[in-house]
Amino acid sequence: MKMTPLVEQMVRHWGEMGARWGISRSVAQVHALLHFTARPVPADEIAETLGIARSNVSGCLKELQGWGVVRLVHLPGDRREHFESINDVWRLFEVLLDERKRREVDPTLKALRECSAQEEAAPKDSPETQRRLSEMLEFFEMMDAWYGEVRRMPIQSRVRLVKAANRIRSWLG
């Protein structure tokens, strides 16, 4: 399949960005291809279009399906499995943020809680070290609670929340 210039640019860009997002180049490229092509594509066509190994595509698709941002569809008259990207950009970034929080924030919160409990049971550090630990824990607890709140809002409310940033600003004083 020949990509249009737009799709090609997006594939290239997401591939580069993927590295910075902790997503492998191939996974990011496969996602970009599916998302901007906006129709179901079979795995071998993805491999051919992106010039990467068929087996690699297979792994990328597993990962993207695992995250729930790509789904498998069957097209009548074709034995092969086709794949398409979900078309909701809010849902897409929700998945990415959830994943990041799970990998980056949750383990740290756990570690901070454990350390804090230990320190409380038997203080062994300077007051300033203790203060920094509890400040750090408090920060993570606050962010965790906030994310939980926002996460529970329906998408519509989140859109309003984001769009209303300037109003909130004056409202908070």
Interface residues with its own copies (CB under 8 A)? 4-7, 9-10, 13, 17, 20-22, 35-39, 87, 89-90, 93, 103-104, 107-108, 111, 114-115, 118-119, 124-126, 128-129, 131-133, 135-136, 139, 142-143, 145-146, 149-150, 152-153, 157, 159-166, 168-169, 172-173
One-letter amino acid at 149 equals E
- Site for DNA contains 99 (CB under 7 A): no
At closest approach, how far in Å is the CB of 6 from its own copies? 5
Binding to DNA by residue 54, rule CB under 7 A? yes
DSSP conformation class of 164: T
Residue 49 CB: number of other CB atoms within 10 A?
Answer: 20
Q: Token pair 């020949």 is at which residue?
A: 2
Closest distance to DNA from the beta carbon of 96 (Å): 15
Cα separations in angstroms, 107 against 12, 19, 104, 133:
32, 22, 6, 15
Phi, psi of 81 (to 5 degrees): -80, 135
Residue 44 engages DNA in binding (rule: CB under 7 A)? yes
Q: Give the count of beta carbons closer than 10 Å to the beta carbon of residue 136.
A: 15
**Alpha carbons 12 and 91: distance in angstroms, whole number:** 23
Residue 52 touches which member of its own copies, DNA, none, C-beta under 5-8 Å by kind: DNA
CB of 53 to its own copies, least distance (A): 26
Q: Give the one residue of 59, 71, 101, 150 binding DNA; rule: CB under 7 A.
A: 59
Which are the contacts of 83, defined by CB distance < 8 A and separation ≥ 6? 34, 40, 41, 42, 43, 46, 61, 64, 65, 70, 71, 72, 73
Residue 71 site contact among its own copies, DNA, none (CB < 5 to 8 Å, cut-off depends on kind)? none
Per CB under 7 A, 62 contacts DNA = yes
Q: Which residue has the tokens 């580069």?
A: 16
Binding site for DNA (CB under 7 A): 19, 24-27, 42-44, 51-56, 58-59, 61-62, 78-81
